[in-house]
């Protein structure tokens, strides 16, 4: 730090500035940064560098989505809560994920009431399975041969297909949710008239519902990365990070 430009040379060290960014600085450091433009600019430069590293190494140092959910539901320890709160101050992606989670909770998705205490909805991430072209997906709205990207979560299959929309540069996303024969009744899932959430990488969300056959469709979508979630009472089936592109 250039002492010739500091309002009070030697009053703070680089370690003090880092402690300030973490919210752990003593009062005299906070007061100094409030009145010293040079040290305040240095603190902002540190913050910008940290945010840049966060964007480059996203998920290498970010809390897991499950941890963010437990943080919002106040199920983490005080120390872990402080760590997550400090991370959210510098990570736009995790802040966006938490904002989306809060929007879902405000809509009644989490938590849900059972006959007894509150239960947390299970989030199940669907896995991409090898491409198929089968009559099983002949019900996919508008599909000519039943070919689509297929994701699976337990006995639930989810087919997704996107195609150019009528508007230049935009897409339509067509989907079909269906379940294979369940080994027992506990795995039966009703896929009709279910909310389907489509969340863009920027955090914007759209909602449609499945019809009686499990079909759904989103129109006028911009190219980019999306996450799709289907609410099935006590489960939310998630398709993570797929991209609409030509």
pLDDT of residue 239: 92
List the pLDDT tens digit at each of the 246 positions of the chain: 444 578 788 788 888 888 887 777 788 888 887 888 888 888 888 877 776 665 555 555 688 777 887 887 778 788 888 888 888 887 777 888 888 777 666 554 444 444 444 445 678 899 998 765 444 454 455 544 434 789 999 889 999 998 888 888 889 999 999 887 655 555 667 899 999 999 988 777 888 999 999 999 999 898 888 999 999 877 889 998 888 877
Q: How many C-beta neighbours within 10 Å does residue 117 have? A: 7
- The encoded tokens of residue 114 equal 């059972």
Query: In this structure, what is the dihedral angle of CA atoms 58, 62, 64, 70, given to the nearest 10 degrees?
Result: -140
Copy the structure tokens of residue 172: 């339509």
pLDDT at 121: 63
Q: What is the pLDDT of residue 229?
A: 93
pLDDT confidence of residue 109: 45
| Domains of the chain, earliest start first | 3-105 (no CATH), 121-244 (2.60.40.10)
Secondary structure of residue 12 in the 3-state scheme: coil
Q: What are phi and psi of 170, to 5 degrees?
A: -115, 165
Q: Using CA atoms in the order 21, 23, 28, 32, what is the torsion angle rounded to 10 degrees?
A: 30
């Amino acid at each position: 730090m250039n002492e010739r430009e500091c309002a009070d040379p030697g009053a703070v060290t680089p370690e003090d500035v880092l402690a300030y960014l973490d919210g752990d600085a003593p009062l005299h450091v906070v007061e100094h940064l409030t009145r010293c433009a040079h040290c305040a600019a240095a603190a902002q430069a540190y913050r910008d560098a940290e945010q840049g590293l966060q964007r480059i190494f996203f998920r290498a140092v970010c809390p897991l989505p499950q941890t963010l959910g437990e943080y919002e539901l106040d199920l983490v320890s005080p120390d872990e809560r402080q760590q997550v709160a400090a991370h959210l101050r510098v990570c736009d992606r995790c802040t966006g994920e938490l904002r989306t989670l809060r929007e879902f909770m405000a809509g009644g998705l989490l938590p849900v009431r059972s006959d007894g205490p509150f239960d947390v909805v299970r989030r199940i991430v669907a896995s991409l399975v090898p491409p198929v072209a089968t009559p099983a997906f002949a019900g996919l709205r508008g599909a000519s041969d039943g070919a689509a990207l297929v994701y699976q979560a337990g006995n639930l299959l989810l087919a997704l297909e996107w195609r150019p929309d009528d508007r230049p540069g935009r897409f339509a996303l067509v989907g079909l949710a269906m379940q294979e024969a369940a080994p027992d009744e506990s795995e039966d899932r009703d896929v009709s008239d279910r909310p389907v959430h489509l969340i863009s990488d920027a955090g914007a969300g759209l909602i449609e519902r499945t019809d009686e056959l499990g079909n759904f469709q989103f129109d006028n979508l911009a190219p980019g990365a999306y996450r799709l979630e289907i609410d099935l009472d006590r489960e939310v089936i998630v398709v993570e990070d797929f991209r609409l592109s030509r």
